[in-house]
Structure 1
Amino acid sequence: MHAKTDSEVTSLDASSTTRSPRRAVYYVQSPSHDGEKTTTSLHSTPVLSPMGSPPHSHSSSSRFSGSRKINRSHNNKPNWKQHHIAVIEEEGLLQTEHTHHSLSRRCYFLAFLLGFFLLFSFFSLILWAASRPMKPHILIKSIKFDHLRVQAGSDSTGVATDMITMNSTVKFTYRNTGTFFGVHVTATPLDLSYSEIVIATGNLKKFYQSRKSERLVSVAVMGNKIPLYGSGASLSSTTGMPTVPVPLKLSFVIRSRAYVLGRLVKPKYYKRVECSINLDPKKINVPVSLKKSCTYD
């Protein structure tokens, strides 16, 4: 055997290195539990180098699985957010739809009320217009003087004057021409005057007249000891009865109110009546016709 030179040794090392590369050996230190005490033991399990050791593959797989979990968790977060946003959007749409339906119902209700009010007003206006021409028909028929007396006396202040006392009855017919409504009838006092002095008065009792009907009305017109002052000179006589015809005037206003549609449509009718009367002392207790002696406004 001869001693190898340095060059030969170097070439041999290079060739051996080329044929099989040396792998470094690592030792993993893992804890071992013995009861409550924990000791650290070194296992002689060799771990190959990073160049091709199996533990690296295990570590990489664990990392890959961990990264998949992380990616899954990261991927789940946007899904949860998208679901939450979708729920919020759906709730918003439902709330908007509910609000829209509520507004629609309100609008429909207000439109119904407005339409009903307009229709009812139009219908009431038609009824009012239709009832206006149906005015009541009034005809003064007669007046009868039951009692008449003129005598001397004095008024409430003690002034001497002629006094007149009169009882009479006025009759007239009242006809309701309305075809679909009745009327309530009142009147102002029936005044019988002589020379601008009211010497007798009468009150009409209120009554109701049904549709398309007629009645005969009698009103008592009376005066008791009404002072005539200077106007009574032509009426006085020894018998207490006038000797000449006495001009009188009868005047009053008849008021009629119809209830066409309850109290909502209630047309009113006014009729002013004026009659000129000639009181003939010879016709006491005899009805005097007034059919051609009255005017109606």
Structure 2
Amino acid sequence: MHTKTDSEDTSLAPSSPDNSRPTAYYVQSPSRDSHDGEKTTTSFHSTPVISPMGSPPHSHSSVGRHSRDSSSSRFSGSLKPGSRKILPDAATGVGGRHHRKGQKPWKECDVIEEEGLLEDDRSSKSLPRRCYVLAFVVGFFILFSFFALILWGASRPQKPKITMRTIKFDHFGIQAGSDATGVATDMISMNATVKFLYRNTASFFGVHVTSSPFDVSFSELTIGSGAMKKFYQSRKSQRVVAVSVIGNKIPLYGGGASLSTPSGATPLPVPLKLNFKLRSRAYVLGKVVKPKFYKTIDCLLTLHPQKMNAAISLKNCTYT
């Protein structure tokens, strides 16, 4: 047997025009009680609402839809960047695809997607510190290399200049003798001084100068040799360098038979050749930029007996 409720009796009973008492109806609003942090249950509380115009109460479906929309909007509005995300629950359908009719699940998805985009933006904008350090090191290396290349290119044309001056023979004689093994042969001895002018043309660096031995040869045979002391030449300066060339009892092995005399004096002109190599090194930027300059010098000369102890001009020279 069906028992009528108060609301049904009120709706079925005829309303009297003289009855001024307002009609009362009930609206069920959902409230969520969290029991375990994940699942939610819905309980309805009846709240009497007085209609001043005596309008008929709304249907239960409209009440439920209105309450669910309001709760969904409150839930989606409470989500902000950095808040805890709601994972889908298969039992309750909260946050998942199985929403009840009237709910708006796209609002939750929009909020979650916006939060993910914000996190991606923050992660893309904040670069690690090691990236800045690496960029600084690479940039410094490129700038330093470019600066060193400019200095190297500017220093290459500023080569030193060498000008041969004179050679003076203090002694030059040939006499009979024997070598270290006892073989009889003519022996030659000489003592000479070579002078040349060294000029550093560089405007912003000095140079360290060394050389190979100064060799004086006769018929492709070295008869005298000398070593130059290394020196430093400052920028835009010059000096005259003197080198002693000495030969003591160098065996000729028949090469100078026409030059030997009993007195040891040389009656005929003697063709000789002087050759050496100068090495100049500049430290423009420490050991990073250190240009090197090489100059090989060959001079042909003739020693006349009457020009002994006199300076012989070195004009027939080649510089390579």
Pair in the same fold by TM > 0.5: yes
Q: Would you tell me which structure has more helix in proportion to its own residues? A: 1
Partner AA of 1:281 in structure 2? P
From 166, 173, 198, the equivalent of 1:149 is 173
CA distance in 2, matches of 1:95, 1:240: 100
Give the TM-score taking structure 2 as reference length: 0.64
From 287, 299, 303, the equivalent of 1:279 is 303
Partner AA of 1:145 in structure 2? F
In structure 1, the partner of 2:69 is none
Higher relative contact order at CA 8 Å, sep ≥6: structure 1 or structure 2?
1
CA distance in 1, matches of 2:188, 2:36: 120
Deviation at 1:246, TM superposition (A): 0.3
Partner AA of 1:187 in structure 2? S
Deviation at 1:75, TM superposition (A): 9.9
In structure 2, the partner of 1:258 is 282
Classify the secondary structure of the residue corresponding to 1:220: strand
Classify the secondary structure of the residue corresponding to 2:252: strand
Matched, 1:101 2:126: yes
Give the TM-score taking structure 1 as reference length: 0.69
Classify the secondary structure of the residue corresponding to 1:179: coil
Residue deviations 1:97-123, cap 9 Å, x none?
4786343x3333322222222221121
Classify the secondary structure of the residue corresponding to 1:230: coil
Say if 1:71 and 1:124 are closer, same or farther in 2 by CA, change over 3 A: closer
CA distance in 1, matches of 2:184, 2:147: 64
Which structure 2 residue ranges, 5 or more long, are not aligned?
A: 1-28, 41-74, 87-111
CA distance in 1, matches of 2:231, 2:119: 65
Classify the secondary structure of the residue corresponding to 1:171: strand
Count of residues paired in the alignment:
229
Partner AA of 1:113 in structure 2? V
Say if 1:73 and 1:258 are closer, same or farther in 2 by CA, change over 3 A: same
Q: CA RMSD in A?
A: 3.0
Q: Which has the larger Rg?
A: 1
Residue deviations 1:41-75, cap 9 Å, x none?
xxxxxxxxxxxxxxxxxxxxxxxxxxx9x943359
Residue deviations 1:139-186, cap 9 Å, x none?
110001011121101111111100011110000110000110111101
CA distance in 1, matches of 2:131, 2:268: 80
In structure 2, the partner of 1:118 is 142
Residue deviations 1:258-286, cap 9 Å, x none?
11111101111110100011111111111
In structure 2, the partner of 1:44 is none
Say if 1:141 and 1:72 are closer, same or farther in 2 by CA, change over 3 A: same
In structure 1, the partner of 2:211 is 187
Partner AA of 2:319 in structure 1? Y
Matched, 1:240 2:264: yes
Which structure 1 residue ranges, 5 or more long, are not aligned?
A: 1-67
